[in-house]
Amino acid sequence: MTLRLAVLGAGAVGGSVLDLAGEYGHEVVAFADSSSSVSDPTGLDPQTVHDRKEREGVVGDDDPEALFDTDYDVLVEATPTTLGDAEPGFSHVERALADDRHVVLANKGPVAERYADLRALEAESEGRVQFEATVGGAIPVLSTISDLGADHVTAARGVLNGTANFILSRMAAEGLDYEHVLAEAQDLGVAEADPSFDVDGIDAALKFVILANVLSDGEAEYRLNDAEVEGIRNVPGTALDLAAEDGRTVRLIGEATSDGVRVAPRLVPQGAALAVTGTQNIVQLETEHAGQLNVSGRGAGGPETATAVLSDVSRLE
Amino acid sequence: MTLRLAVLGAGAVGGSVLDLAGEYGHEVVAFADSSSSVSDPTGLDPQTVHDRKEREGVVGDDDPEALFDTDYDVLVEATPTTLGDAEPGFSHVERALADDRHVVLANKGPVAERYADLRALEAESEGRVQFEATVGGAIPVLSTISDLGADHVTAARGVLNGTANFILSRMAAEGLDYEHVLAEAQDLGVAEADPSFDVDGIDAALKFVILANVLSDGEAEYRLNDAEVEGIRNVPGTALDLAAEDGRTVRLIGEATSDGVRVAPRLVPQGAALAVTGTQNIVQLETEHAGQLNVSGRGAGGPETATAVLSDVSRLE
């Protein structure tokens, strides 16, 4: 069944959803960036939209809010993640659910910071909320937990920030210090000009908070403030040298259980599943009856995350 | 929704489905081994069934076929995998589908050897066929392909036989030869008295044939005879020593694409994702838009495989 998507957010993820929706049998009927929107009930042509955005800096002539007045089935919320009240993302979700539309989130804010509010709104709506893309891009983390049943998964552990992992991998492989590798990562576009969201562990913590919310299955609610978070700024190159002498290395490891969330640099054996390199991500699920299941891959990127969004859309058919 | 299961096959998998169905919110109303069956419309007590099987060698007083006359929703076909016409498993599936019941397979035969026949029967029935458990136990291989869409996955590659992998891992780690490690694996219960199904690559090939059938999505049909298969009997210990000197090791690697199936011992880098150790399994999916996704874990075992069966059952709700 073809579902009509309204995509809010014109960054890498929103742009890739626009490009790839057709391949998944869906169509984008409305698309908005932070200052404008465009719609077409017969489906937007991706190239036309991208061209206008590049040429004029806007995607269309309408206000962004006009997107909600179009005839769509699924809101794809791909605006930047915000903390605290998770606005304006949360209000976007609220409006779509109030109109009995489905919501697929790439924005982590509403799931990490206002999970109970989100589930309460969903319960009042004909629409459903999906958010696989918020945890590790296309890596099948939430779908696997859903298949196993959240009550049969006792913990989720792993590496869910590619930037921090790239920096730690390079420090270990090249014997370089944090500042040097960070500058290199910024040159390569792997780290942002302000890298604090990644290197201070906030981004990873948000994802593990989402996992804790899913694993606790409504029995408890977690927010970023509930997580114990330590980043990688203070990991000295000498710590990696010492670890290497012992056959180990350091990774920014997160853990979510129904008891809460911790993210911190940890020693892991070299060659262990958790010692993924570069921008790879991995999640290990501890299950009651099926041992440990590992899922890994690229945890970010436009087409990768759009793939997760579109898989979520197909689950709504 | 509680689904009523009829479980055919009283080995490790069938027995674990009987034990765990209640935890997943379902109930087993009929259970059969090769010579008898027992049923209870209010749900069987697992321990009573196991006790009788142990004490008397049968599970009940009825013929195995009586299972089909009970009031069930889902047939769980967990009899041993057979090649060629995949009988008697195929006829069991045929009968359930003819009665418009769902089928969940742990038996690889019907999916690997008669995929087109199976899909044709499914198309005529109100029942659906699920078979996650046939490929890597609880490792979410088929569900991930389904989420991505089979047409967006270009290849599946990996290690899907724990016995062969255990033997190769031990040969490499201990510098022992094939016959020695095989005897050890047999003592540990990791290898069967007749290990040919595992060490000749047949079991892995069946799983990659199933993957090829899923990836080709009805455009082609594969059977075991279409696969190029080479096992591990002739891998000399010296080959592993030579590989190790080069930073590599040997694993029994299978590959499925829409062009077919190959299984053979291959050199892989030590520490690479494919170089799983012991009885671990791994599948790497090459995707069009989301890079390479890896899923790994224990690929066999009663509770592990029963977990996959029960996840499939829940998909039928």
Task: Answer yes or no: do A147 and A272 share one domain.
Answer: yes
> What local confidence, expressed as pLDDT, does residue B259 receive?
81
Cα→Cα distances A77→A94, A108, A170, A313, B71, Å: 11, 10, 34, 12, 45
B249 touching A, CB under 8 A? Answer: no
What's the structural domain count of chain A? 2
User: What CATH number corresponds to the domain at position B167?
Assistant: 3.30.360.10
Q: Is B207 a catalytic residue?
A: yes
B11 is in an annotated binding site: yes
What pLDDT was estimated at residue A255? 98
- Active-site residue identified among A170, A207, A251, A262: A207
| Structure-token match 């659906």, residue found | B128
What average pLDDT score do residues B133-153 get? 96
Q: How confident is the model at residue B217 (pLDDT cuts 50, 70, 90)?
A: confident
Q: Which of B292, B294, B298, B316 is most worth mutating to test chain A (most A CB atoms within 10 A of its CB)?
A: B294
Question: Omega of the bond prior to A88 within 30 degrees of 0, cis?
Answer: yes
Clarify whether residues B151 and B245 are in a common domain.
yes
* B32 pLDDT tier (thresholds 50, 70, 90): very high
Q: Is residue A271 a known part of a binding site? A: no
Domain range holding B235? Answer: 142-298
* B83 and B209, same domain (yes or no): no
CATH number, domain with residue A20 = 3.40.50.720
Kindly state the helix (H) or strand (E) to which residue A241 belongs, with its residue range. helix A237-245
Q: For chain B, give the longest Cα–Cα distance.
A: 62
Rounded Cα gap, residues B255 and B204, in angstroms: 10
Q: Please state whether beta strands A102-105 and A129-130 pair in parallel, antiparallel, or not at all (unpaired).
A: parallel
Test mutation, B18, B286, B293, chain A, max A CBs within 10 A: B293
pLDDT at residue A217, rounded to an integer: 87
Domain identity same for A17 and A162: no
Residue B1, chain A, CB below 8 Å: the answer is no
Q: Give the Å distances, CA to CA, from B144 to A78, A295, A308, B295.
A: 23, 10, 11, 9
Alpha carbon distances (Å) from A255 to A86, A196, A316: 23, 20, 29
DSSP A136: T
Which of the residues in chain A have pLDDT under 50?
A: none
- Residue B89 shares a structural domain with residue B199: no
Q: Does A149 touch chain B (CB under 8 A)?
A: yes
Residues contacting B304, CB < 8 A, separation 6+: A289, A290, A291, B137, B138, B297, B298
Q: How far is B20 from chain A (nearest CA, A)?
A: 9
Calculate mean pLDDT across residues B163-180: 95
Asked if residue B255 belongs to a known ligand binding site, the reply is: no
Q: Which pLDDT score is estimated for A145? A: 97
Provide the 3-class DSSP secondary structure of residue A293. Answer: strand
Domain identity same for B110 and B155: no
Residues of chain A contacting B270 with CB distance shorter than 8 Å: 271
The answer to whether residues A279 and A146 belong to one domain is yes
What confidence tier does B241 reach under pLDDT thresholds 50, 70, 90? very high
A201 DSSP 8-state letter: S
Task: Specify the DSSP class assigned to residue A2.
Answer: P
Confidence of residue B317 (pLDDT cuts 50, 70, 90): confident
Provide the pLDDT for residue A41. Answer: 97
Clarify whether residues A154 and A133 are in a common domain: no
Per the structure block, which two tokens stand in for B244? Answer: 């190790």
Q: How many CB pairs under 8 A join A and B?
A: 112
Nearest to A293 among B23, B138, B314 (CB): B138
Consult the annotation and say whether B271 binds a ligand. Answer: no
Interface membership of A283 toward B (CB under 8 Å)? no
CB contact under 8 A, B297 and A297: no
Shared domain for A113 and A187, answered yes or no, is no
Check whether residue B166 and residue B253 sit in a common domain.
Answer: yes
* ipTM for this model: 0.94
Say yes or no: A163 and A106 in one domain: no
d(CA B301, CA B281) in angstroms, rounded, equals 12
Whether B270 has its CB under 8 Å from any CB of chain A: the answer is yes
**Catalytic option among B207, B251, B266, B298:** B207
Instruction: Please tell me if residue A301 touches chain B, with a CB cutoff of 8 Å.
Output: yes
Q: Are A204 and A263 in contact (CB under 8 A)?
A: yes
Q: Does B278 touch chain A (CB under 8 A)?
A: no
What does the alpha-carbon distance between residue A49 and residue A45 come to, in Å, rounded to a whole number? 7
My answer on whether A114 and A262 are in the same domain is no
| CA–CA dist B260, B267 (Å, integer) | 21
Q: Which residues of A touch B315 (CB under 8 A)?
A: 147
